Structure 1
């Protein structure tokens, strides 16, 4: 996101683990990244 100066991703997550505020690890092309589950919108207007 150019506005947030951060990456944004969308993914399907098993509902047992899809809790807002939860920290998650994301594997992209063999590299691990940390992330957080948030609700829409990503930013406040």
Structure 2
């Protein structure tokens, strides 16, 4: 019983981190793209 329970539990744990990484990557891409497009950043650079 312990082996059967540890199997599925480990699989679920593996899926959760992957989803969290995907959400983080999706948030990181736009966050870095928005400031690059905003004119405020251009003013700071110039």
TM-score under structure 2 length normalisation: 0.15
Larger Rg: 2
TM-score under structure 1 length normalisation: 0.15
Q: More relative contact order in 1 or in 2 (CA 8 Å, sep 6+)?
A: 1
Q: Higher helix proportion, which one? A: 2
